[in-house]
């Protein structure tokens, strides 16, 4: 089968332009969902879509959507996100969105007469500034009322208020949901964000499973006291309890030996926060990842019991709150085969691999046959300003995505 190509220069130019929204003087990008920088980037993206006659619209969740082909009937969706973590890089999410845009432009320019639509979507808040994968979960109807009501940012600001500031009404979030019949497949191109493809000298990774993520908050209430006069045996030290709980949680995970499982305590706060005061209060965010749901449950129980016993040992009161959960998912075998065949035909070296990062694709995987394509990340670095992939890899990945869309359309 003959293959066409996307316009690599236009892809790289647009990626470069997108990276200017929220760029920090010291390097890296701050573009959390619903921030002015993210709204500006969304408007810019919608404008690019309009230029390409893709009928851009922004839905009730803040998802930016372009469409080519018939107005009704099911569509092949190409998605990812344009929000970033604090100090993020220029490719996480952005590549998939700009690649999708480029595929639709190239398809449009090829003059192909489409009997099925293709959409490109930038999903809102994939990185969870307020609620992880808000946009794709809203679209697939998996958000719970409690999650939405209680969602807040790092500074305690509520999702409802952040959305209102950006011009959205949280009460209309449900309008972003769409029917299973409105979509036929889901595709996402992403950087690997890990070292595997680069170290093996491979062009492409084909994702077979996406890790699940649980986020919980542990709050320890002890007693703040003078650090010099309070004997060690008479303290109710929330900081010490937190430290011990964390160490035991890691030890417990090591014992379980689940190679793909991860535990991270990425946000720890001790109060009142002085060297000469016994901490009266500690707040810890824990993030657990695993490919199998039963591993996730077991690991979460392990972390819970590490906090329970540390709290009991130091007579501090423990509050646990489960903040959000993204279930593990598997990609469709048929899509893995299709992308694999394309790699063979286009002469790209590839492997099938799991994803340790979460992606919007995981929300579509249980609804429609979904596939994900990875390209190599230099040094495996991501969620960091130094995130980089060779331009050649970005173009290769986009061409594989393009060919996947073309072959799906031809079916
Ligand atoms: O954290 C993740 O895995 C994703 O980048 N949101
Ligand atoms: Mn990310
Ligand atoms: Mn991402
Ligand atoms: Mn004093």
* Residue from 95, 125, 129, 132 to probe ligand 1 pocket by mutation (most atoms less than 8 Å from CB): 132
Residue with the bigger pLDDT between 2 and 292: it is: 292
For residue 168, how many other CB atoms are within 10 A of its CB?
22
**Which residue ranges does the chain devote to CATH 3.40.630.10?**
8-211+329-410
Of the candidates 48, 161, 154, 67, the one whose C-alpha atom is nearest the C-alpha of residue 107 is 67
Residue with the bigger pLDDT between 258 and 175: it is: 175
d(CA 88, CA 361): 20
Share above pLDDT 90 across residues of the chain, in percent, rounded to a whole number:
93
pLDDT at 3: 56
Residue with the bigger pLDDT between 128 and 324: it is: 128
- Is the pLDDT assigned to residue 4 strictly greater than 80? no
Mean pLDDT of the chain: 96
Query: Is the peptide bond prior to 398 cis by the omega test (within 30 degrees of 0)?
Result: no
Mean local confidence (pLDDT), 152-176: 96
Please give the distance, rounded to the nearest whole angstrom, from the Cα atom of residue 37 to the centre of ligand 3. 17
Mean local confidence (pLDDT), 38-45: 98
Convert the pLDDT of each residue in 279-322 to its tens digit: 999 999 999 999 999 999 999 999 999 999 999 999 999 999 98
- Is the pLDDT assigned to residue 1 strictly greater than 80? no
Please give the distance, rounded to the nearest whole angstrom, from the Cα atom of residue 310 to the centre of ligand 3. 35
Please give the distance, rounded to the nearest whole angstrom, from the Cα atom of residue 379 to the centre of ligand 3. 17
Please give the distance, rounded to the nearest whole angstrom, from the Cα atom of residue 51 to the centre of ligand 1. 31
- Is the pLDDT assigned to residue 256 strictly greater than 90? no
Residue nearest to atom 6 of ligand 1 (CA): 127
Report ipTM (2 d.p.).
0.89
Mean local confidence (pLDDT), 128-156: 93
- Work out which ligand 1 atom sits closest to the CA atom of 383: 5
What's the CA angle centered on 96, arms 114 and 101, to 5 degrees?
A: 40
pLDDT at 323: 84
Q: Which two tokens stand for residue 409?
A: 């359309």
Residues with CB under 5 A from ligand 2 (ion): 92
Share above pLDDT 70 across residues of the chain, in percent, rounded to a whole number:
99
- Work out which ligand 1 atom sits closest to the CA atom of 211: 3
Is the CATH code 3.40.50.970 the one for domain 8-211+329-410? no
Q: Where are the beta strands (DSSP E) in 16-152?
A: 57-58, 64-68, 75-81, 117-123
d(CA 3, CA 398): 13
Considering the entire predicted model, what is its pTM?
0.90
- Work out which ligand 1 atom sits closest to the CA atom of 213: 3
**Which residue ranges does the chain devote to CATH 3.30.70.360?**
212-326
Q: Please compute, for residue 383, the number of CA atoms within 13 A of its CA located in the half-sphere on the CB side.
A: 9
Q: What is the CA radius of gyration of the chain?
A: 23
Is the CATH code 3.40.50.300 the one for domain 212-326? no
Mean local confidence (pLDDT), 10-38: 98
d(CA 175, CA 228): 58
């Amino acid at each position: 089968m003959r293959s066409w190509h996307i316009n690599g220069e236009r892809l790289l130019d647009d990626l470069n332009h997108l990276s200017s929204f929220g760029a920090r003087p010291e390097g890296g990008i701050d573009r959390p969902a619903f921030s002015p920088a993210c709204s500006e980037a969304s408007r810019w993206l919608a404008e690019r879509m309009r230029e390409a006659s893709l009928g851009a619209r922004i839905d009730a969740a803040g998802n930016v959507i372009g469409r080519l082909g018939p107005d009704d009937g099911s569509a092949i969706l190409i998605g990812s996100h344009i929000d970033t973590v604090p100090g993020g890089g220029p490719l996480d999410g952005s590549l998939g969105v700009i690649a999708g845009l480029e595929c639709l432009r190239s398809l449009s320019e090829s003059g192909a007469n489409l009997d099925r639509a293709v959409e490109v979507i930038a999903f809102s808040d994939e990185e969870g500034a307020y609620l992880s994968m808000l946009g794709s979960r809203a679209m697939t109807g998996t958000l719970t009322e409690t999650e939405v009501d209680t969602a807040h940012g790092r500074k305690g600001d509520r999702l409802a208020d952040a959305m209102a500031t950006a011009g959205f009404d949280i009460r209309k979030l449900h309008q972003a949901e769409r029917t299973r019949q409105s979509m036929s497949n889901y595709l996402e191109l992403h950087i690997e964000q890990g070292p595997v493809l680069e170290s093996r000298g491979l062009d492409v990774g084909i994702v077979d499973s996406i890790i699940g993520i649980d986020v919980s908050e542990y709050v320890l209430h002890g007693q703040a006291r003078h650090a010099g006069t309070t004997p060690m045996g008479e303290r109710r030290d929330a900081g010490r309890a937190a430290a011990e709980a964390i160490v035991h949680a890691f030890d417990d995970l090591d014992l379980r030996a689940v190679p793909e499982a991860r535990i991270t305590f990425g946000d720890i706060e001790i109060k009142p926060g002085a060297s000469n005061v016994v901490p009266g209060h500690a707040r810890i965010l824990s993030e657990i990842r695993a490919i199998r749901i039963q591993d996730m449950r077991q690991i979460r129980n392990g972390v819970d019991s590490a906090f329970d016993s540390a709290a009991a040992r130091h007579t501090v009161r423990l509050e646990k709150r489960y903040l959000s959960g993204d279930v593990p998912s598997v990609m469709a075998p048929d899509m893995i085969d299709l992308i694999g065949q394309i790699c063979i035909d286009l002469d790209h070296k590839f492997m099938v691999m799991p994803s340790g990062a979460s992606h919007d694709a995981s929300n579509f995987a249980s609804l429609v046959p979904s596939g994900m394509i990875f390209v190599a990340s230099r040094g495996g670095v991501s969620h960091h300003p130094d995130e980089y992939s060779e331009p050649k890899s970005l173009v290769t990945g986009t061409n594989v995505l393009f060919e996947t869309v073309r072959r799906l359309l031809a079916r």
